[in-house]
Chains A and B, each alone.
Chain A
Amino acid sequence: MQTFFQTLFTGLSDGAIYGSLALALVLIYKATEVINFAQGEMAMFTTYIAWSLITHHGFSFWPAFFATLAIAFVGGVALQRTIVRPLERASVLTVVMATIALLVILNGLAAWIWSPQLQFFPSPFPTSSWVVGGVHISKQDVGTFGVVMACVLVLWLFFRFTKLGLAMRAGALNPDAARLLGVRTSWLLALGWGFAAALGAVSGMMVAPTVFLTPNMMQAVLIYAFAAAVLGGLESPVGAVAGGLGLGVMLNMLGQYVHPVTSELRLPVALAILLVVLLVKPAGLFGRVVVRRV
Chain B
Amino acid sequence: MAALLELDDVSARYGQVAALHGISLTVGEGEIVALLGANGAGKTTTLRAVSGTVRRSGDVVVGGRRLHRAGPEAVARAGIAHVPEGRGIFAELTVWENLRMGAYMRRGRPDFRQALEYFPWLESRRHQQAGTLSGGEQQMLALARAFLARPRLLMLDEPSLGLAPLVTREVFRVVGELNQKEGLAVLVVEQNAAIALAAARRAYVLETGAVALSGTADELRANDAVRTAYLGY
Pair A177/B84 contact, Cβ less than 8 Å: yes
Pair A180/B93 contact, Cβ less than 8 Å: no
Known: A181-B145, A182-B105. 4 other contacts (CB 8 A): A170-B90, A173-B93, A182-B76, A182-B104
Number of interface residues of A (CB under 8 A): 17
**Complex interface: chain B residues within 8 A of A169 (CB):** 90, 93, 97
Interface residue tally on B, bucketed by range: 20 to 34
Interface residues of B (CB under 8 A from A): 51, 53, 71-73, 76-77, 81-82, 84, 88-93, 97, 100-102, 104-105, 145, 149
If over half of A's interface residues share one DSSP class (helix, strand or loop), that class is named, otherwise mixed; here it is: helix
- Out of B81, B92, B93, B104, name the residue touching A183 (CB < 8 Å): B104
Pair A176/B149 contact, Cβ less than 8 Å: no
**Complex interface: chain B residues within 8 A of A179 (CB):** 53, 71-73, 76
**Complex interface: chain B residues within 8 A of A170 (CB):** 90, 93, 97, 101
Pair A180/B90 contact, Cβ less than 8 Å: no
Pair A181/B84 contact, Cβ less than 8 Å: no
Pair B101/A166 contact, Cβ less than 8 Å: yes
> What are 13 sample pairs from A and B whose C-beta atoms fall under 8 A apart?
A167-B104, A169-B90, A170-B90, A174-B90, A177-B90, A178-B101, A179-B73, A180-B72, A180-B81, A181-B102, A181-B145, A182-B149, A183-B101
Rank and list the top 6 A-B pairs by shortest CB-CB distance, nearest first.
Answer: A177-B88, A182-B76, A182-B105, A179-B72, A179-B73, A180-B82
**A163 to B90, alpha carbons, bound, how many Å?**
15
Pair A176/B93 contact, Cβ less than 8 Å: no
**Complex interface: chain A residues within 8 A of B93 (CB):** 166, 169-170, 173
**Complex interface: chain B residues within 8 A of A183 (CB):** 73, 101, 104
**A169 to B100, alpha carbons, bound, how many Å?**
12
